């Protein structure tokens, strides 16, 4: 398996990010992404995050594999569908959770659509606990969708060791890619 490098997104990553979110099976699981995919919206998200927290691209074998971030205490992630079932999401999300707690985040919240069994599995493997359920607008789906809310306090973090198949490095430098 490839080594994974995590770094802030840059405008040069927009085309690869757009490729990921142009897969309906990926976009339907995201809360705020539009459908059909909008290149301008994608470009607005392909830049270093400047708020409270971080958003990283996960890169391997010279391409963007997905994204992960903890912003304002909320966890979000997405990966190329072809990578499902390989442990990549669990390993990368684990690294992001560890980083957020090391930076002083007291609790991380996350949400998953009730029909997103893969994401629910990732969160539960990492120790997130269900704290509620409801319905929210899924922008890509264009409808209110059943969701499950999760939380993980820093004091409860058990920190799964990254899957030994993946070597994950964090690089907070941004690169200009054209």
In a domain, residue 42? The reply is yes
Convert the pLDDT of each residue in 121-156 to its tens digit. 999 999 999 999 999 999 999 999 999 999 999 989
Residue 100 lies in a domain: yes
How many domains in the chain? Answer: 1
178 located within any domain: no
User: Which residue segment(s) compose the domain that 72 sits in?
Assistant: 3-170
* Grouped pLDDT means (10 residues each) for the chain, 178 residues: 88 98 97 95 96 97 96 97 91 95 96 97 96 97 97 80 60 53
Question: CATH number, domain at 100?
Answer: 3.40.630.30
Q: Is residue 125 part of a domain?
A: yes
Over its C-alpha atoms, the chain yields an Rg (Å, rounded) of 15
* Whole-number Å distance between alpha carbons of 173 and 161: 24
| DSSP secondary structure, 45-79, as one string | HSS---SSEEEEEEEETTEEEEEEEEETTEEEEEE
Q: For residue 175, is it within any domain?
A: no
Residue 160 included in any domain:
yes
Residue 31, helix vs strand vs coil: coil
Helix (H, G, I), strand (E, B), or coil: what is residue 33?
A: coil
Classify residue 177: in a domain, yes or no: no
């Amino acid at each position: 398996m490839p080594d994974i490098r995590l770094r802030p997104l840059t405008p040069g990553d927009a085309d690869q990010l757009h490729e990921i979110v142009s897969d309906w099976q990926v976009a339907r699981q995201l809360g705020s992404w539009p459908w059909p995919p909008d290149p301008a919206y994608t470009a607005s998200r392909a830049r270093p995050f400047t708020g409270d927290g971080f958003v990283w691209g996960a890169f391997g074998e010279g391409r963007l594999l997905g994204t992960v971030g903890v912003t304002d205490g909320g966890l979000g992630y997405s990966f190329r569908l072809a990578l499902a079932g390989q442990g990549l999401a669990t390993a990368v999300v684990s690294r992001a959770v560890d980083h957020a707690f090391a930076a002083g985040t007291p609790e991380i919240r996350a949400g998953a659509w009730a029909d997103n069994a893969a994401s629910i599995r990732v969160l539960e493997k990492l120790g997130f606990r269900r704290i509620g359920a409801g319905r929210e607008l899924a922008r890509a789906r264009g409808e209110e969708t059943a969701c499950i809310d999760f939380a993980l306090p820093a004091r409860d973090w058990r920190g799964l060791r990254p899957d030994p198949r993946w070597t994950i490095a964090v690089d907070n430098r941004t690169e200009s890619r054209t």
